[in-house]
Amino acid sequence: MRPDATAGSASFNEAELLRRAREVRSRAYVPYSGFRVGAVVVTADGQWFEGVNVENASYRLTSCAEQTAITRMVAEGGRSEIVAVATVGDGTDPCTPCGACRQTIFEFGPDAVVYASGDGGKPLIVTMSELLPHAFGPKRLSQGYET
């Protein structure tokens, strides 16, 4: 089943979402792996937040693109639930979020749709429940997420 590109009150164009993730990827800081990733999150109120991976000589301190986009969302006052996430990485295979990013996406968008792509081919389009079955997270309020 292919998720709809209209979630909550936000609607978005799948091609534009992936284009922006592909474009922002060029700003990644990856002196160690050389593997660039760009991410865009879309919230239910229609806001878009971009992020890139930022590496560090201590690999443990590296920030993933999805984490960067979500941190930016929170830092800029975004409190609406995430409805979509696009991740685009170097290479031809879809670049899916890592386990830590899956948990973070779930925290702010348990029903989000993930569009994962590489440089070529069709994107992998999956729901968070498909990416992270049996996930756990905070209680949800009727509007926004609990802080």
Of 44, 49, 35, 51, nearest to 7 by C-alpha is 44
d(CA 13, CA 101): 23
- Name residue 54's beta-bridge partners: 29, 63
Q: Is 23 a catalytic residue?
A: no
DSSP alpha helix (H) spans, the chain? 14-24, 65-75, 99-108, 128-131
- Name residue 70's beta-bridge partners: none
* Catalytic annotation, pick one of 14, 66, 76, 107: 66
User: At residue 64, what is the residue type?
Assistant: C
Return the active site residues.
Answer: 66
